[in-house]
Structure formats: C-alpha cells, structure tokens
C-alpha cells in the first residue's frame, strides 16, 4: 500500500490554499489569541509600538507588492503615505466623514497618484526608476508645504480623534483594535492578490518582463496596477498614521521614511507577505532592544551611561541591511522558514 504524504497536492487550488495543514490553523489561532491578549498583558507603550508596527506593516506590504513582487524600485513611498495621510485628514476635518470613508479616500487618492506616476515610469528601470520616484516625493513635499490653504503648510494638521459608532478610540489600546483589524484585512487582501492571476503576472514581470510579455502578460497594465495597489496600501497606512499620531506635518514624510520601508522589506524578505510583517515589526521594535542593550551594558560598564542615542539605531539599520543583503538575501522570512523546517524535522536535520 502506498503511503501518501499529508501535504501531497493534487490540484493547483490545493497548492495555493491559505491553511494547508491543521497545524497552520492551530498556530494562526494561537497568534490571534495572543494578539487579543496583548493589550491586557502589555503596558500602553508596548501597545503603542505594536500600533506603529501595524502601520509599518501595511505601508511595507504596499512597497513589497511593487518592489518585492513586481520588481519596481521606489524611493517615493513616503510621498504616497503623505497623500493618504493628508487625504484622510482633509476629509475628516472638512467633511466630518466617517473613518472608513477617510481611509478609503486617502488610499484612493494615493492609488490615483500611484497610477499617474506609474505611467511615465513604465519605460524606466533600476536607478532611473528610483530617481523618478524620489523626484515625485520632492514634488509632493513641495505641494504640501505651499498649498497651505488645504494642507496647513508648515504648520501641519491636527487630526480629530477617531470615533466608531459614537465611541471615541482615544487610547492606544482602543486604537490597537482598530489598527489590528485594518492590518488583518490588508494582509488578507495582499495574500490573495499574490495568489491570483494578478500576483502571478507581477512575479512574471519581476523575473523577466520580456518573457512575461511573450506569454501574454500585459506589462503596461500590470505595472501601472502594481503602482496603484502599492500606493493604495501606502495611502491607507498614511490614514492610519494620521489617526494614530494625531498630527501630520510635511517633515514626517521624508526620503528617510521611504528608505526605512525599503529596509523593512529587505530585512523581512522581498516578495514575501509574512516576511513583510517580520521586517516591519523588526524595524519598529529593534530600537527598543538596542536601548535595552545600551542600558544593560551601562550597568556593567559605567562609561556607557547616557551613551545611547538615535544614531545607534540608524547605524544598526545600515549594518542590518548590509548583513541581510550579504548573508541572508531572503531576509527574516528565510530564517523563519528554516526554523519551521528545523522544528518539523526534529530530531533529524532534514
């Protein structure tokens, strides 16, 4: 009698199923339970960091769709965040519309801007595309500063507190629930995009665009679509950001922020949804570990007292990107895969 592997697949549908084994369902349930308990066991600062991680995850997902899945480099991601943040804030302040309308409007405005940027960028690749998207970032910053009647210019804009059915989400714990739900929806959507014809077209373009065209992928359409989807994610993240911080200013959306998102997807894993989450959380949370390390070492070595500052984080990010690019190009996702395999095969190595 032949022994069939529990992960043996007989159809393509089975191969792309989200929950392929009972264990995946179990661990997802554990994760959801942990996330539900988190505001109870964690202090408000910890919850706030998780909130920031949610925003970073959604924004980095957008960039990973464009860069990791479609192979289009972008240094203008922060600009799309700005469009989303300002779009949401303007809707909330001027029209007093509900939050979901504001988030969709912010995302939609960013998506339209993304499509507009995507069209002239069709013929650009690599460094030239990076420069073009960076230039777009400069244009957006200029517009936000000079169009002060709409954006508040250099004074910035205050975002009203988020309210849901008359209930004000005025603490980090309440915001956590809101951000977690949005992040979950965006993650599910991203996972589904990558499992469909659209996702496969993106990957085909990334791997070899001429070959993709030969097999019938409409490169123009899919590249513009990738820009639009990526920007939509950035726009929604911008809206989430404005609700969380409560105040937006042109200086919040700089080139450095775009680079930070690139760091997230490199560290997490290009072209991986789970890797994006790892990368976003890692980059948001790692400064806390560096700080803990600095404080701990100050107890052992007094000369380390008060030595920690933000420059440590920047230096560490740079180091991390180098280390990952050289030693672990697959990012944290690749490490995660090895961990899973290690546990799965234990006590054997393979």
Partner 1 sequence: MKHLRFLAARLTFLFFLLASLAGAVLADERGVTNDSINIGLVLVKTGPVAALGLPNGQGMVDYMNYLNEQGGINGRKIEVIWEDDQFEAPKSVAAVKKLIHRDKVLTILTTGGTNQTIANMDNINRYQITNIPNALADEFFVPLQPYIFAMGATYEAQYQCIVDYIAEDLKMENPRIGVVYAKKEYGKKGLDTIKERAAKYNIPVVAELVLPTRAVDASSQVLTLQQQNANIVITCDVLPPVITFLKTAEKYKYEPVVFGFNWATDDMIVKACGDAAKNYIGVNFVGGWSDDTPGIQLVRGLQEKNKRDIGLTSLYINGVGVSWLFGEAMKRAGKDLNPDSLKSAMETLSNYETGGIFPPVNFSSESHAPAEMVKFFKADLTNKRLNAVTDWRKPKKMP
The residues binding partner 1 (CB under 8 A) are 38, 41-46, 48-49, 52, 145-146, 153-156, 158, 161, 170, 172, 245-247, 249, 251-252, 285, 288-289, 292, 306, 309-311, 335, 338-339, 342, 349-350
Q: Rounded to 5 degrees, what angle do the CA atoms 89, 94, 96 make?
A: 80
Contact partners, residue 67, CB within 8 Å, separation at least 6: 73, 74, 262, 265, 270
**Which of residues 225 and 332 has its CB atom nearest to partner 1 in the complex?**
332
Q: Which is nearer to partner 1, 213 or 328 (CB)?
A: 328
Least separation in angstroms between CB 146 and partner 1:
8
CB of 154 to partner 1, least distance (A): 5
Q: Whats the size of the chain, residue-wise? A: 350
- The answer, yes or no, to whether the previous bond of 302 is cis (omega within 30 of 0) is no
- What phi and psi values does residue 95 have, to the nearest 5 degrees? -115, -5
Residue 314 Cβ vs partner 1, minimum distance, rounded to whole Å: 8
Q: Which residues make Cβ contacts (< 8 Å) with residue 130, sequence separation at least 6?
A: 73, 74, 75
Smallest distance, Å, CB 270 to partner 1?
Answer: 19
Identify which of residues 136 and 253 has a Cβ nearer to partner 1 in the complex.
Answer: 253
* Residue number, 98 or 153, with CB nearest to partner 1: 153
SS3 (DSSP) at 158 = strand
Nearer to partner 1, 15 or 288 (CB): 288
Minimum distance from residue 3 beta carbon to partner 1 (Å): 26
In this structure, how many other beta carbons lie within 10 angstroms of the beta carbon of residue 160? Answer: 15
Compute the distance between CA of residue 312 and CA of residue 26 in angstroms, rounded to an integer: 39
Kindly state the tokens that stand for 283.
């980059």
Closest approach, Cβ 298 to partner 1, in A, equals: 12
DSSP character for 162? Answer: P
The CB-side HSE value for 308 (13 A sphere, CA atoms) comes to: 17
Question: CA 276 to CA 61: how far, in whole Å?
Answer: 6
Residue placing its CB nearer to partner 1 in the complex, 112 or 294: 294
Instruction: Provide the token pair at 55.
Output: 């925003």
Whole-number minimum distance, CB 179 to partner 1, in Å? 15
Q: Specify the residue, 66 or 281, whose C-beta has the smaller distance to partner 1.
A: 281
């Amino acid at each position: 009698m032949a022994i069939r592997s529990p992960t043996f697949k007989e159809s393509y549908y089975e191969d792309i199923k989200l929950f392929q084994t009972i264990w995946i369902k179990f661990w997802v349930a554990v994760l959801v339970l942990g996330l539900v308990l988190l505001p109870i066991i964690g202090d408000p600062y910890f919850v706030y960091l998780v909130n920031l991680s949610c925003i970073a995850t959604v924004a980095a997902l957008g960039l990973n769709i464009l860069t990791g899945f479609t192979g289009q480099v972008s240094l203008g991601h922060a600009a799309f965040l700005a469009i989303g943040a300002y779009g949401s804030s303007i809707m909330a302040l001027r029209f007093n519309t509900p939050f979901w309308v504001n988030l969709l409007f912010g995302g939609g405005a960013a998506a339209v801007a993304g499509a507009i940027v995507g069209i002239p960028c069709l013929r650009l690749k690599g460094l030239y595309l990076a420069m073009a998207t960076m230039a777009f970032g400069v244009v957006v910053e200029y517009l936000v500063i000079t169009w002060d009647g709409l954006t508040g210019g250099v004074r910035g804009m205050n975002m009203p507190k988020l309210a849901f059915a008359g209930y004000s989400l005025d603490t980090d714990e309440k915001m956590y629930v809101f951000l977690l739900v949005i992040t979950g929806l965006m993650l599910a959507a991203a996972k589904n995009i990558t499992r469909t014809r659209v996702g496969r077209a993106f990957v085909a373009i990334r791997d070899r665009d001429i070959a993709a065209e030969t097999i019938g992928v409409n490169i123009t359409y899919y590249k513009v679509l990738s820009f639009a989807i990526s920007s939509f994610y950035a726009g929604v993240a911008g809206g989430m950001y404005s609700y969380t911080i409560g105040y937006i200013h042109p200086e919040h959306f700089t080139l450095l922020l775009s680079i930070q998102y690139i760091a997230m997807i490199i560290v997490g894993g290009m072209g991986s949804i789970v890797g994006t989450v790892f990368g976003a959380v890692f980059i948001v949370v790692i400064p806390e570990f560096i700080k803990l390390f600095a404080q701990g070492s100050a107890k052992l070595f007094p000369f380390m007292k008060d030595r920690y500052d933000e420059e440590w984080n920047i230096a560490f990010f740079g180091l991390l990107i180098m280390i990952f690019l050289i030693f672990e190009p697959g990012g944290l996702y690749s490490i995660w895969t090895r961990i899973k395999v290690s546990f799965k095969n234990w006590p054997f190595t393979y």
